[in-house]
Structure 1
Amino acid sequence: MVPFALAGVAGFAIALLVLWLSGAPEDWIRICVAGLLWGIPGTLTMVVHDRQRKRRRALTHPEFHVVS
């Protein structure tokens, strides 16, 4: 799911840049900023969760190898 979240954050960043340069309505720009402000911590939370899940799985299932 992390790649999808990264794509969403990148989409909001690109939309923000395009809208800002084109002089779009301020509400649209605010929506893009909100998407970035909610998307970045959400993506980081998912990355940390995935990392911890891999570590827990490696501890409970020795045959599982974590590739870094």
Structure 2
Amino acid sequence: MSENHQAKVLAHLKNGKTLSQAEAINLFDCYRLSAVIKRLRNARHDIVTHSEPNLNGKGSHARYELKEWQA
């Protein structure tokens, strides 16, 4: 995990977008999104986790969003 991933994920969230693990892999080659989110939360960023169903109808996955970000 790199600080570069943290910067890219934070910039994405600050643009008002949400992010799932699959999107983080495709966009940033980031395979440990939950660890990046934990570090961002430790840096006092208010990130909320939403649970959404998987496309195959089995189980769910996390989608992250920066709460009340204002540019």
Provide the TM-score with structure 1 as the length reference. Answer: 0.30
Higher helix share: 1
Higher strand share: 2
Provide the TM-score with structure 2 as the length reference. Answer: 0.29
